[in-house]
Amino acid sequence: MSRTSSPTRTYDVIVLGLGGMGSSAAWHLAERGVRVLGLEKFGPAHNRGSSHGGSRITRQSYFEGAAYVPLLLRAYELYERLEKETGLDIATLCGGVMAGLPDSRTVAGSLESARTWDLPHELLDAAEIRRRFPTLSPADDEVALYEARAGLLKPENTVTAQLRLAERAGADLHFEEPALRWEALGDHVRVETAQGTYTAGQLVICPGAWAPQILSGLSLPITIERQIMYWFQPAGGVEPYRPERHPIYIWEDSADVQIYGFPAIDGPDGGAKVAFFRKNGAPCTPETIDRTVHRHEIDAMAAQARRHLPTLPGTFLRAATCMYSTTDDEHFVIARHPGHPDAVTVACGFSGHGFKFVPVVGEILADLALRGATEHPISLFDPRRFAPPPV
């Protein structure tokens, strides 16, 4: 049926984008008994945006700011629920090391959050890091905050779990059906796709790297960057890198360059994953991103990893690109749309550190769409912080 001849179909809430945040919003909304339509440009749990790559770090001693910790505590509860209700393998709490010089943001910021919220943690000197984790090789003046409750999340399984629960609760999910346009019309919203026109009382927009296009009217300072994830087969094999022996880590060197990495979770031939954190990100759009990973990029990653994990870069296996969508202050945007506060809710700018919040962000978006407010602390994420001061 053509778009011009198709009837208008009505829902209570339409969710645009069914990646990490959108699939979570659809799940929480459907569970509250409302009629939900989810629209996704690609297939379920796809690899064209940011919610892919096999693993994401989760942690509570948050160097990005202590204000995030209450949301993380709730996210941990919801991740446990996702696993229990779907039977999917989502979270592995293998412990985490936040390493660097004592005054580095990675160490000092993590320590501040841990102390502010009385989170269990240990501060390890270089000798203790080497003793506990022989795969890691800190300099003598480096230290680490160790958090036993840190670990990794599987993004594809997370999205799949949330989609399953959303459908189980009655959500209508459409894949390979991108929105062509949306508009707020007083007491309702309208969304058009090539397959039809849909109306609802509320619209939730989770655009990921498509935020600059879909939310152009907000003029948010969001940069879309190409980032790369790498997998190397460690010299001597992956056994020392298994989750029982090797933690997740974020490591900041004296030049403020951060790398992060994971245990080997993909079997004896799958290697271990490592990446730069925010470094070398080339500005792009979803349409112009270079999906080819070049030799000089692989060499740069191997050289940096070798400084901290001497056996890791052994043999390069593969790499994958993804997109970061990052605000100027690196904090999220989660709010009612300032231009359409009665009908539209937006969530974007998560990249670099957002995936661990996925299930609680969906809960917040359901609150905002259905009640206009949430008990969760989200004032930090108000898009009006970017508005120019009054003259």
CB–CB of 149/120 below 8 Å? yes
Residue 256's pLDDT is what?
A: 87
CA angle 70, 76, 80 (to 5 degrees): 150
Instruction: For residue 292, give the amino acid letter.
Output: T
Query: Which pair of structure tokens corresponds to residue 93?
Result: 């709490």
Query: Which pair of structure tokens corresponds to residue 230?
Result: 């790498």
CB–CB of 86/164 below 8 Å? yes
Residue 1's pLDDT is what?
A: 28
Backbone angles phi, psi at 57, to 5 degrees: -75, 140
Domains located in the chain, CATH noted: 11-50+156-219+329-386 (3.50.50.60), 94-151+223-327 (3.30.9.10)
Which residues, listed in sequence order, are joined to residue 184 by a DSSP beta bridge?
189
Which residues, listed in sequence order, are joined to residue 190 by a DSSP beta bridge?
183, 199
Instruction: Give the pLDDT of the chain (391 residues) as one tens digit per residue.
Output: 233 335 578 999 999 999 999 999 999 999 999 999 999 999 999 998 888 899 999 999 999 999 999 999 999 999 999 999 999 999 999 999 999 999 999 999 999 999 999 999 999 999 999 999 999 999 999 999 999 999 999 999 999 999 999 999 999 999 999 999 999 998 899 999 999 999 999 999 999 999 999 999 898 999 999 999 999 999 999 999 999 999 999 999 988 899 999 999 999 999 999 999 977 788 999 999 999 999 999 999 999 999 999 999 999 999 999 999 999 999 999 999 999 999 999 999 998 899 999 999 999 999 999 999 999 999 999 999 998 766 5
Query: Which pair of structure tokens corresponds to residue 77?
Result: 């509860």
The gap between the terminal CA atoms of the chain, to the nearest Å, is: 52
What pTM, to 2 d.p., does this model score?
A: 0.95
CB–CB of 210/180 below 8 Å? no
In this structure, is the dihedral angle defined by the CA atoms of residues 252, 75, 168 and 208, taken in order, positive or negative?
negative
